[in-house]
Amino acid sequence: MRRNQALTTYKKGGIHPAEYKLTDKSPVQILPLPEKVTILLSQHIGVPAIPVVSKGDTVKVGQLIAQGKGFVSANIHSSVSGKVVKIDSLPDLTGYKKSAIVIEVEGDDWEENIIQSTDLLKDITLSKDEILEKIRESGIVGLGGAAFPSHVKLILPRDKKAEALIINGVECEPYLTSDHRLMLEYGEEMMVGIRILMKVLNVRKAMIGIENNKADAIYHLTDIASKFPGIEVYPLKVKYPQGSEKQLIEALTGREVPSRKLPVDVGVIVHNISTAYAVYEAVQKNKPLINRIVTVSGKSLKKPSNFVVRIGTSVRFLIEAAGGLPENTGKVISGGLMMGKALNSLDVPVIKGMSGILVIPEDETKRKPIEPCIRCSKCVTVCPMGLEPYLLMSLTQNGNFYRLEKEMVLDCLECGSCSYICPANRPLLDYIRLGKTDVKKII
Amino acid sequence: MSKLLTVSPSPHIYGKDTTPNLMYGVIIALIPVVLASILYFGWGAVIVISVAVISSVLFEFLIQRFLLQKKTTIQDGSAIITGLLLSLCLPSNFPVWLIIPGSLFAIGVGKLSFGGLGNNPFNPALVGRVFLFISFPAQMTSWPEAQGFQTQYIDATTGATPLNIIKEGLGKGDSISHLMDKIPTYQQLFFGNMGGSIGEVAAVALILGLAYLLLRKIITWHIPVSIILTVVIFTGILWLVNPAQNADPLFHILSGGILLGAIFMATDYVTSPMTGKGMIIYGICIGILTVVIRRFGSYPEGVQFAILIMNGFVPLINYYIKPKRFGEEVKNG
């Protein structure tokens, strides 16, 4: 790596929460098979998948069990082998009941066409359309958290052209290290995945953005990137929320994606680093998206770890493997500290977009009492989108939704920097979310 | 499940800044100013500062507890700042029986009548100061000389401030070059050897305070820098056009309350704009108004009025001046 080169970052706003990367030195462990898995049919943005198996069927690892219907949707595959025991509505991460398929595990019997060996398959033999079809069939979604079906992002509107592919290896959330470990342990596979994506998008250049707190990954990838033409690693200054698509594009290219436009409007396409790895597995090894790396972490946890987990494994199983739920736990979060969702139960399944499970002790759980706004303008300073959170909050409180729209409330990323920085403990983001929901009703 | 988990929307982690933290940060930044004032004015400064601080906190407590009957907020430190800032713009021989109504006006009318911290449109300390200035002009314009630590209080030796000398001199038709001989040297102005209010004399202590505020990120550079630069440029132009009638920019910066106002008064969170661009506009207007009052008005000093006038424009600035939104200009470089 070019150690002394000036690190780039995006210009506007941003914060520096404590990093707590407890598991960045822990190699990825393969979690034993659970007794049963609960596979949700809506693990992506878009229409839920439709089951193609029925109760009593025997399924293999990697078998299609639900089909994505409609343009924005994704296939779902069985992550284990065994018997379908239930197709029913079961609580998802938010606690609402959603359709799911429950499979009881029997053995570990994979579909024949999946190549299980760990050999690196470097040669890309398939054509552009064949690759695209394979990615669609394999049910790959964006693994950074948003879970947007990947094949949709790879089909560009006819009048738009991408110049570069941006690979998001930023992982700016505290605690999370799943992408970090992936880069260290499966770097070459990932590079092949990036080459595949470049072929589909017909671009010559790929930029991998990695924050400087992952120096080992930057060195490692820079090293192997020399063997893959067109791929370059860019170290970035540590700043939250750099992992946000728009901010990362600005950090790497200096281009700002305008309000309500897509990255392709400034000539780039962004994919997460673990999505690139999933693409490699799907295209080179015929393996659909049936597992992923999940960081299980927290200061109170006995054995914080990075696990390779089959989709549908219960969160409780993961926490047991990391040393069990500590007595003083107050909150369990799916995702990161800044943007993750708090779970109301441990009996919910791992989904494709889950990058981490965080266990937070009781004394760090409660919010502090809300005090009056002292108009210190820190929320305005940290907002990466150039919005005025204090104003959006009071406009929401007053129900002034027309002005909210004019003040561009819909541009909010919900990164939480405003609530984080507020010295008066004001729930700025809570109100902004409310305001966004109401503005969406009027437009 | 033995016990319930807490469910709340993100974020799940919060920064360390709290309102009291920021307020006490401002108080720490004022320590050099307070020490310098004691060094120059002795017991007078000690009496004026402690009476103003104690009475401000006491009035905030009494009014919130008994008149408004709600939770008292004296622990957040904002009443201490109001008291400190009020005292720092008083003369060191200011009588106790006038400081107390000053504090009452600052806290009661300037702050609590609008709904307390966060709701007051005007800087409470300046409201108190202007109340005293208009009601008791004689006491408010008798400026003890900074003669090193002294034990006199009410009976301290008084003299004219440098700004007074210039104003009166020019009024009588004197020329600047002649008047400049009567005022302290620039070195004395910088370290504070001159007549003036308790907190405004020692430029060096105020600049130390500014450095602390900026380092701890309590304030941003926008307001102090734009005020000071505007004053330098405006007075510089006047000075270049007619050096016989106008003092030079350095004199303007080092004398009077510009530094105290630019660093501690105009930067008050509640009464200053919310965006960087807004802050610069606010600062430039304060700078211009200050020079206009000093040079063309009837008062020798104008910072206090300039800041209060601009406080009134803050809601308008916030309404019209928006931060640059992300993606506003499409760059294709």
3-state secondary structure chain B: CCCCCCCCCCCCCCCCCCHHHHHHHHHHHHHHHHHHHHHHHCHHHHHHHHHHHHHHHHHHHHHHHHHCCCCCCHHHCHHHHHHHHHHHCCCCCCCHHHHHHHHHHHHHHHHHHHCCCCCCCCCHHHHHHHHHHHHCHHHHCCEECCCCCCCCCCCCCEECCHHHHHHHHHHCCCCHHHHHHHCCCHHHHHHCCCCCCCCCCCHHHHHHHHHHHHHCCCCCCHHHHHHHHHHHHHHHHHHHHCCCCCCCHHHHHHCCCHHHHHHHHCCCCCCCCCCHHHHHHHHHHHHHHHHHHHHHCCCCCCHHHHHHHHHHHHHHHHHHCCCCCCCCCCCCC
Average pLDDT, stretch A239-265? 93
Chain A hits for B7, CB-CB cut-off 8 Å, are 95, 331, 342-344
Task: Please check the confidence at residue A8 and state whether its pLDDT lies above 70.
Answer: yes
Asked if the Cβ–Cβ distance from B12 to A255 is below 8 Å, we say no
In this prediction, residue B331 carries a pLDDT of 46
Asked if the Cβ–Cβ distance from A256 to B327 is below 8 Å, we say yes
Task: Please check the confidence at residue A359 and state whether its pLDDT lies above 90.
Answer: yes
Average pLDDT, stretch A104-133? 92
Average pLDDT, stretch B223-250? 93
Average pLDDT, stretch A312-320? 95
For residue A141, what is the DSSP state? Answer: B
Residue with tokens 């089951």: A51
pLDDT tier at B268, thresholds 50, 70, 90: very high
Q: Is A277 on the interface with B (CB under 8 A)?
A: no
Task: Please check the confidence at residue A1 and state whether its pLDDT lies above 60.
Answer: no
Strands A329-334 and A356-361, sheet pairing: antiparallel
Residue of B261, B264, B275 whose CA lies nearest to B316: B275
Task: Please check the confidence at residue B332 and state whether its pLDDT lies above 60.
Answer: no
pLDDT tier at B333, thresholds 50, 70, 90: very low
Chain B hits for A373, CB-CB cut-off 8 Å, are 118
Task: Please check the confidence at residue A3 and state whether its pLDDT lies above 70.
Answer: no
Asked if the Cβ–Cβ distance from A340 to B12 is below 8 Å, we say yes
Chain B hits for A257, CB-CB cut-off 8 Å, are 327
CB B268 within 8 A of CB B261: no
Q: How far apart are CA B224 and CA B205, in angstroms?
A: 15
In this prediction, residue A4 carries a pLDDT of 47
Compute CA A72 distance to the chain's CA centroid, rounded to the nearest angstrom: 17
Interface of A with B in 170-199 (CB under 8 A): 174
Q: Where are the domains of chain B?
A: 19-140, 160-320
Residue with tokens 């450095």: B211
- Residue in B17, B269, B326 closest to A12 by CB: B326
In this prediction, residue A348 carries a pLDDT of 94
In this prediction, residue A296 carries a pLDDT of 96
Chain A hits for B276, CB-CB cut-off 8 Å, are 381
For the record, the structure tokens of A440 come out as 């969406």
CB-hemisphere CA count at 13 Å for A411?
26
Residue of A67, A149, A63 whose CA lies nearest to A114: A63
Q: Is A408 on the interface with B (CB under 8 A)?
A: yes
Q: Is A372 on the interface with B (CB under 8 A)?
A: yes
Asked if the Cβ–Cβ distance from B15 to A266 is below 8 Å, we say no
Q: Where are the domains of chain A?
A: 33-107+290-363, 128-285, 378-442
For the record, the structure tokens of B235 come out as 């007075």
For the record, the structure tokens of B301 come out as 């000093």
CB B285 within 8 A of CB B310: yes
Distances (CA, A) of B63 to B68, B72, B100, B149, B247: 6, 9, 14, 36, 46
How many residues belong to chain B? 333
Chain A nearest C-alpha distance from B10 (Å): 5
The Cα diameter of chain A in Å comes to 65
Q: How far apart are CA A187 and CA A181, in angstroms?
A: 9
The separation between the first and the last C-alpha atoms of chain A, rounded to the nearest angstrom, is: 48
- Residue in B18, B19, B325 closest to A386 by CB: B325
Average pLDDT, stretch B49-57? 96
The alpha carbon dihedral of B231, B232, B237, B241 has a sign of: positive
Phi-psi region at A260: left, alpha or beta (left = phi > 0; alpha = psi -120 to 50): left
Chain B hits for A319, CB-CB cut-off 8 Å, are none
For the record, the structure tokens of A77 come out as 């595959």
The separation between the first and the last C-alpha atoms of chain B, rounded to the nearest angstrom, is: 56
pLDDT tier at B182, thresholds 50, 70, 90: confident
Tell me, which fold does domain A128-285 have in CATH? Answer: Rossmann fold (3.40.50)
Three-class DSSP category at A211: strand
Chain B hits for A387, CB-CB cut-off 8 Å, are 323, 325
- DSSP lists the bridge partners of residue A50 as A67
For the record, the structure tokens of A270 come out as 């962004």
Q: Is A338 on the interface with B (CB under 8 A)?
A: yes
In this prediction, residue B284 carries a pLDDT of 97
Asked if the Cβ–Cβ distance from B15 to A386 is below 8 Å, we say no
Distances (CA, A) of B67 to A203, B60, B112, B250: 71, 10, 10, 48
Q: How far apart are CA B199 and CA B203, in angstroms?
A: 9
Strand (E) or helix (H) holding A249: helix A245-253
Judged on CB neighbours under 10 Å (0-12, 13-18, 19+), A438 is middle
Asked if the Cβ–Cβ distance from B10 to A341 is below 8 Å, we say yes
Q: Is B15 on the interface with A (CB under 8 A)?
A: yes
Residue B17: closest CA among chain A residues belongs to which residue?
A423
Average pLDDT, stretch A76-85? 95
Best to test chain A binding among B2, B14, B279, B324 (most A CBs inside 10 Å): B14
In this prediction, residue B314 carries a pLDDT of 96
Q: How far apart are CA A416 and CA A211, in angstroms?
A: 19
Compute CA A168 distance to the chain's CA centroid, rounded to the nearest angstrom: 10
- Residue in A18, A338, A387 closest to B11 by CB: A338
Asked if the Cβ–Cβ distance from A411 to B325 is below 8 Å, we say yes
Average pLDDT, stretch B11-27? 94
Least confident of A104-108, A157-161, B75-79, B159-163: B159-163
Task: Please check the confidence at residue B154 and state whether its pLDDT lies above 80.
Answer: no
The model's pTM is 0.91
Residue B120: closest CA among chain A residues belongs to which residue?
A374
Three-class DSSP category at A27: coil
Three-class DSSP category at A79: coil
Residue A408: closest CA among chain B residues belongs to which residue?
B325
Domain A33-107+290-363, CATH class in plain words: alpha beta
Q: How far apart are CA B332 and CA B274, in angstroms?
A: 30
Task: Please check the confidence at residue A18 and state whether its pLDDT lies above 50.
Answer: yes
The alpha carbon dihedral of B84, B86, B91, B95 has a sign of: negative
For the segment A163-219, what is each residue's pLDDT rounded down to a tens digit? 999 999 999 999 999 999 999 999 999 999 999 999 999 999 999 999 999 999 999
Interface of B with A in 272-311 (CB under 8 A): 272-276
Asked if the Cβ–Cβ distance from B12 to A337 is below 8 Å, we say yes
Least confident of A348-352, B129-133, B148-152, B252-256: B148-152
Chain A hits for B13, CB-CB cut-off 8 Å, are 17-18, 174, 337-338, 364, 420
Task: Please check the confidence at residue B170 and state whether its pLDDT lies above 90.
Answer: no
In this prediction, residue B245 carries a pLDDT of 84
Q: How far apart are CA B126 and CA B106, in angstroms?
A: 8
What amino acid occupies position A272? N
Task: Please check the confidence at residue B234 and state whether its pLDDT lies above 50.
Answer: yes
Distances (CA, A) of A99 to A76, B20, B131, B300: 12, 49, 70, 78
Asked if the Cβ–Cβ distance from B8 to A342 is below 8 Å, we say yes
Q: Is B270 on the interface with A (CB under 8 A)?
A: yes
Three-class DSSP category at A425: coil
What amino acid occupies position A85? V
For residue A263, what is the DSSP state? Answer: G
Task: Please check the confidence at residue A2 and state whether its pLDDT lies above 80.
Answer: no
Residue of A316, A416, A329 whose CA lies nearest to A364: A329
Interface of A with B in 40-69 (CB under 8 A): none
Task: Please check the confidence at residue A278 and state whether its pLDDT lies above 90.
Answer: yes
In this prediction, residue B215 carries a pLDDT of 96
The pLDDT > 70 percentage for chain B reads 98
Chain B hits for A386, CB-CB cut-off 8 Å, are 323-326, 328
Chain A hits for B18, CB-CB cut-off 8 Å, are 368, 423-425
For the record, the structure tokens of B55 come out as 């009475």
Task: Please check the confidence at residue B2 and state whether its pLDDT lies above 60.
Answer: no
Chain B hits for A430, CB-CB cut-off 8 Å, are 9
Residue with tokens 């490699």: A280
Alpha helices in A86-163 (DSSP H): 128-137, 150-154
Interface of B with A in 112-141 (CB under 8 A): 116-119
Asked if the Cβ–Cβ distance from A411 to B326 is below 8 Å, we say yes
In this prediction, residue A5 carries a pLDDT of 58
In this prediction, residue A341 carries a pLDDT of 93
Least confident of A189-198, B137-146, B154-163, B250-259: B154-163
Residue A337: closest CA among chain B residues belongs to which residue?
B12
